A = this chain, B = another copy of it.
């Protein structure tokens, strides 16, 4: 009997010690001496399956994602700021017709390209965003100008365009944004709904297109050599969108969030659900207040908060230690990352 008590007592004491040492090792792993710099990007989540994409198209998309990663990584590698890195990566994707942002933006109900973008600085928690802008080549650059130049965070519509003109931002004609496949996507939706067809006001200047994956938003998150995190997102929104709908991409805390204390996040998906759950900010608070890893926090938000409401999509991110993670509940997500530790990954499908 005496031995039984001794055994039980020592057992309980041991459990207490194990708990304590676990807590300590977790704290240690949060503050490594050297933070690797890194960039992670996405080119949208959706019904992306290997059987829908030809080997040539797969190669083309993979190469463009790598080009975007490399553009951002070069900034970080030369000691540049994470804010400049995410902008560089997103500009590559905005300038390609392969993604639903900038040149490749889908058409709204009036047959126009109506774009949203945002950027956030994890060091200062400063942010800038534009919603519903037309004919701007790189909406994320205007979001950056909003952040850097005025005390507002979010500008919209014609007012945002007036602001952009004041800062000599590059505008493009409608023809630059025209893309036959995107136009056909709009026609298909219009016909299905029995809606009036808008007048086609631009010629087909593009021979390069992809299927309308519905959620082809682009985003990037980076951490630089100084440990500063930045995140940014850019999108053309939804095909046939009406009523100047604004999605989650220009909404700080929904589509984009960065905080040096926790992580940086960029979202893509059915934007309304990311707005209602504050997906990007919620991920950050789970890390900050519940000691979740970034990976677990992303999984929790996507599968236990967004999915139960009926939403789908994905998020990419990296934490203050430069650890990269992503998650999505769609068939696939265009995504990739590169870290100063040597890893370089580009993926399209669920795997």
Please give me the residue from chain B that is nearest to A10 by CB atom.
B5
Q: Which residues of B contact A309 (CB under 8 A)?
A: 125
Cα A282 to Cα B282 with chains together (Å) = 9
Indicate if the CB atoms of B245 and A155 lie closer than 8 Å: yes
Q: Return the contact of A275 from the options B1, B8, B154, B157 (Cβ within 8 A).
A: B154
Cα A153 to Cα B12 with chains together (Å) = 52
Indicate if the CB atoms of B272 and A253 lie closer than 8 Å: no
Q: Which residues of B contact A254 (CB under 8 A)?
A: 252-253
Stretch in A56-64, A158-166, A328-336 with 4+ CB within 8 Å of B: A158-166
Chain copies in the assembly?
2
Q: Number of contacting residues on A, CB 8 A?
A: 48
Chain B proximity of A245: nearest CB distance (Å)? 5
Q: Which residues of B contact A271 (CB under 8 A)?
A: 153
Stretch in A174-182, A183-191, A285-293, A315-323 with 4+ CB within 8 Å of B: A285-293
Indicate if the CB atoms of A153 and B276 lie closer than 8 Å: yes
Is A299 engaged at the interface, CB distance under 8 Å to the other chain? no
Indicate if the CB atoms of B155 and A246 lie closer than 8 Å: yes
Chain B proximity of A113: nearest CB distance (Å)? 15
Is A6 engaged at the interface, CB distance under 8 Å to the other chain? yes
Is A33 engaged at the interface, CB distance under 8 Å to the other chain? no
Cα A80 to Cα B346 with chains together (Å) = 53
Chain B proximity of A17: nearest CB distance (Å)? 13
Chain B proximity of A239: nearest CB distance (Å)? 14
Is A9 engaged at the interface, CB distance under 8 Å to the other chain? yes
Stretch in A98-106, A126-134, A219-227 with 4+ CB within 8 Å of B: A126-134
Cα A209 to Cα B156 with chains together (Å) = 29
Q: Return the contact of A281 from the options B245, B247, B253 (Cβ within 8 A).
A: B253
**Which A103-139 residues have C-beta < 8 A from chain B?**
125-127, 131-132
Is A24 engaged at the interface, CB distance under 8 Å to the other chain? no
Is A350 engaged at the interface, CB distance under 8 Å to the other chain? no
Known: A151-B272, A152-B272, A309-B125. A244 touches B158 (CB 8 A): yes
Chain B proximity of A229: nearest CB distance (Å)? 14
Chain B proximity of A232: nearest CB distance (Å)? 15
Q: Return the contact of A243 from the options B126, B127, B162 (Cβ within 8 A).
A: B162
Cα A216 to Cα B272 with chains together (Å) = 28
Q: 6 A-B contacts, Cβ less than 8 Å apart? A: A9-B9, A155-B246, A160-B243, A162-B242, A285-B285, A289-B290
Given A131-B246, A159-B245, 7 further pairs, Cβ under 8 A: A5-B5, A5-B9, A131-B131, A153-B275, A158-B244, A159-B244, A289-B290
The 6 A-B residue pairs with the shortest CB-CB distance in the complex, in nearest-first order: A159-B244, A5-B5, A159-B243, A289-B289, A285-B285, A253-B278
